[in-house]
Structure formats: C-alpha cells, structure tokens
Amino acid sequence: MDDVRADRLVATVLLLQQRGRVTAREVADELEVSVPTARRDLEALSAAGVPVYAQPGRGGGWQLVGGARTDLSGLTATEAQALFLSLGPAAGGAAASRTALRKLLRALPATFREDAEAAAAAVTVDSSPWGRHDRGRSAHLEVLQAGVVARRRVRLSYADARGAVSGRVVEPWGLVDKDDVWYLVAGTDRGRRTFRVDRVVDAEPTGETFERPAGFDLDAAWRETVGAMERRRAATAAEVLLAPRWLPVLRDVLGRHCEDATSGPEPDGRVRVRVTAPTPRDVARHLAGWGGLVEVVGPDAVRDELARIGAELVAAYG
C-alpha cells in the first residue's frame, strides 16, 4: 500500500465521519479517484476492522457504525488498532501521510490513543524485493501484530532455513512488510533477532508484558538488518552477459542481487550485469537453469561450478 493510498484512506474515514453516509461515487468525486478505486478503499477499511459497512439498495451507501459523528469515539480499542496497523506502514516516510495520521490520532479518544500510536509504528514497509518468494498472509501474523501493539511476549515455534523447528519466547518489537514477505523484529535472550513470518509454525501469546528498549526505531533496526544480510548475500559477484529482452526476467527472479555492470550495451548488443550471492555455488545455481541464454564472464570459481553442474546433468540424463 503506497503513501497516496494512506492519505486517501484517512480522508475516506474523515469523510464518513462528516457525512455519516456516502456512496462510492461521492467518495470518488470528493477524492478525485475512480469509483472502483473508492469502492476498493471502502472494502479495505471494512476488512481491516474499521466499523464501516455497506447498505445495499436505493438510498444505500457506506457508513460508520453508529452513524455520523465528529470524532472516532465509536471505535473500540481493537478497531482503532486495526485502522492504524493498516495506515501506519502505508504512510511510510511521506510527510503528508504522517500529518494525516496525526490529525486522525487527535480525533481518537485519549484512552485509545497510545495503542493506536503503537500500532501505527508497529509496521514498516520495504518495497525492494530480495528475489522471488512465495507470498501470502501468514496465519500467525495477527497474533504477532497484537503482540507488537500490546507489548506482550509471544512463544514461537520457528523453522530455520533447513526446516529444523525450535521453540523460543520473543518480545515482538515490530513487523516489516518487504514486498509482501513479512519479517518480525524481536528481542530474544540473545539480543535482537529477525524472523521470517512464513517460517513461524506456531505463535501463542504468553500474557507477559515487556517494554521496548528506549529509543528503539523500527526503520533504523531494519536498515541494519538489511545491511548485514546484503553483505552476506553479496559475498560473491559474477559478471554475466545476456540479451536485453531477458534482463527484466532475471531482475524479477533475483531482485536487488542483479544490477547493471555497465552504462550501455556491449558491442554485440548484449548487456552486462552483476549477479551476487553468498558463494560461487549459489551464483551458479541461480544461473544454471538459464543455459545458453547467459554467459558468465567471471569469476572462474562460478564458471567451474557451472561446469560441475553441467557434468552432473549430463551424467544423470545423458
């Protein structure tokens, strides 16, 4: 969800407060968007737990439960948290979106404001992909969101990259949506750790509360995590030549681990790119399936690994 949509969702809620009941056409006209876009926004608010519902038929439309009002006093604590969990990450670093969220926060009852602020800061968005991953909302994401907002420890069963499952109790400090792949930044008995949410086998709140470290900044913590991971993932770099038409496909598969190595095409029309991975074998595995569509210029360690993989395939399949 982008910054523009964050502003639009906040504006839609405020419009509902002001008018009590609106049609998708009225929202579209007011916010200068298409009717289908306005309808999707209204449905998204409802799905996020905001008390917005549709009335079908002539004279129908969309309205907040309880009718028109000048504040958000009709929201429950859970509904307020759901709204800000949706809008907080969408606002990102955009000044206009942050201003809109502050205005909406001031409209909340004082008893809900602290939890809503915590929800708005509980999630950040990093739209840069690391490569192609299976995407989908984890069944345990809501438990982790609730733990972040309520500052309650969670008992995790977690599978590592090899599939081995272990148990631990963590303090959920924040969540990151990285191109629809979710990560949990948490405190553990070994310090700060980052977990892939889709590897969480089970998540159960313990009921025990915790306090985040003073000055904890989710965006800064995530930048540190990304930096450390990128250094590990880019330990080996290979220069590759391929036809320009295949470059978007390779970028889609490898994400930020595929970057231009020169400013223009080679004399034969191909483009030169830099492909990175932790080891020469990892680079070769990424590229082996491309066959003759790519040419690895170097280093020799990657070319040797490709030759080894090719010999294995010839031996197995003739």
Range of lowest pLDDT (11-25, 82-96, 104-118, 303-317): 82-96
CA–CA separation, 155 vs 167, rounded Å? Answer: 7
Do residues 223 and 239 both lie within one domain? Answer: no
Q: Report the pLDDT value the prediction gives residue 92, as an integer from 0 to 100.
A: 46
Helix ranges (DSSP H) in the chain = 3-19, 24-31, 35-47, 77-91, 95-106, 110-120, 141-150, 218-233, 247-254, 280-288, 300-317
- The answer to whether residues 201 and 159 touch, using CB atoms and an 8 Å cutoff, is yes
* pLDDT band, residue 84 (cuts 50/70/90): low
In this model, does residue 68 exceed pLDDT 70?
no
Over residues 293-301, mean pLDDT:
94
Work out whether strand 52-55 and strand 21-22 pair parallel, antiparallel, or are unpaired.
unpaired
pLDDT at position 238 = 93
The confidence band for 245, taking pLDDT boundaries of 50, 70 and 90, is very high
* Domain boundary residue, one of 229, 248, 279: 229
Q: Do residues 27 and 74 share a domain?
A: yes
130 inside domain = no
In a domain, 128, yes or no: no
pLDDT of residue 21: 81
Interval 245-256 mean pLDDT: 88
> 97 and 41 in one domain?
yes
CA 214, CA 29: separation in Å to the nearest integer?
A: 45
pLDDT band at residue 318 using 50, 70 and 90 as cut-offs: confident
Residue 131 in any domain: the answer is: no
Q: What is the pLDDT of residue 184?
A: 92
Would residue 126 count as lying in a domain? no
Question: What is the per-residue pLDDT for 70?
Answer: 38
* Same-domain status, 238 and 267: yes
Domain termination site, one of 208, 229, 250: 229
In a domain, 181, yes or no: yes
Structure tokens at 176: 């990151």
End position of a domain, from candidates 229, 247, 265:
229
Do 200 and 254 lie in a common domain?
no
- Give the C-alpha distances (Å, rounded to integers) separating 210 from 152, 154, 184: 6, 11, 16
Give mean pLDDT, residues 75-99: 50
| Domain extent for 160 | 141-229
- Mean pLDDT across the stretch 263-278? 89
The structural domain count of the chain equals 3
Q: Is the domain of 279 the same as that of 213?
A: no
Report the CATH number at residue 280.
3.30.70
Residues 281 and 203 in one domain: no
CATH number of the domain enclosing 200: 2.30.30.520
What does residue 265 show for φ and ψ, rounded to 5 degrees? -70, 160
Q: Are residues 282 and 185 in the same domain?
A: no
* Model-wide pTM > 0.85: no
Q: Looking at this protein, which amino acid is placed at residue 174?
A: G
C-alpha–C-alpha distance, residues 254 and 45, integer Å: 34
